Amino acid sequence: MPSTHTSLHFHLVFSTKERAKLITEDLKGDLYGYLGGIVRNLGGVALAIGGIEDHVHLLVGLTASHRLDHFMRELKAGSSGWVRRERNPSFSWQNGYGAFAVSAANLEKVKNYIRNQADHHAQKDFQSEYVELLEFGKIQYDSKFLW
């Protein structure tokens, strides 16, 4: 086969340091736009970005040449640097992240999930949501190292 064809979509989740409520309403739009710009500049496609005060979700399409760890390092460092320079000098992301593979058949479902974070979190906190994502993805974890 003379060419490469991939469908590599990831649901990415990461929180502010110590889950501090730093993503204010006036920051959200600009932050999400900045995150989308970083994704684009790194050669990916941002399909959805959302979240609440203490964490963000992104649905991104990546290429076969992306290394997820490098992509996440650039995404988090670039966005936290921008927030610190432009809005809040004490802003930081928590170490680590969640990355969940998404099939093409589930892209719309995940987009809707990300877009409706405020409604979702009216009933569930971030920690409960994250553990559910880990369990749904059949990812083994030790709860003493989650937070």
Q: Residue range 58-80: average pLDDT? A: 97
Is position 44 within any domain? yes
d(CA 88, CA 104) in angstroms, rounded, equals: 37
Q: Terminal CA-to-CA distance of the chain, rounded, Å? A: 45
Q: Residue range 39-66: average pLDDT? A: 97
What percentage of the chain exceeds 70 in pLDDT? 99
Is position 3 within any domain? no
CATH code, domain with 40: 3.30.70.1290
The token duo for 117 is 């974070």
Is position 108 within any domain? yes
Is position 95 within any domain? yes
Tell me the pLDDT tens digit for each residue of 113-146: 999 998 888 888 888 899 999 999 999 988 888 8
pLDDT at position 104 is 97
Q: Residue range 4-13: average pLDDT? A: 95
Is position 50 within any domain? yes
Q: Residue range 6-11: average pLDDT? A: 96
Q: Which residues span the domain enclosing 112?
A: 8-145
Q: Residue range 1-8: average pLDDT? A: 86
Across 19-33, 46-60, 83-97, 120-134, least confident range:
120-134
pLDDT at position 11 is 98
d(CA 84, CA 80) in angstroms, rounded, equals: 6
d(CA 48, CA 102) in angstroms, rounded, equals: 13
Is position 2 within any domain? no
Task: Give me the torsion for CA of 109, 47, 35, 102, rounded to 10°.
Answer: 50
Task: Count the domains in the chain.
Answer: 1
| Confidence band of 1 (pLDDT split at 50, 70, 90) | low
**Given a cut of 70, is residue 68 above it in pLDDT?**
yes
Whole-model pTM above 0.85? yes
Please report, as a single letter, which amino acid is at residue 40: R
Is position 97 within any domain? yes
Instruction: Using alpha carbons only, give the angle 81, 59, 55 rounded to the nearest 5 degrees.
Output: 50
**Dihedral pair phi/psi, residue 112, rounded to 5°:** -65, -40
Q: What is the mean pLDDT of the chain?
A: 95
Tell me the pLDDT tens digit for each residue of 78-120: 999 999 999 999 999 999 999 999 999 999 999 999 999 988 8
Is position 1 within any domain? no
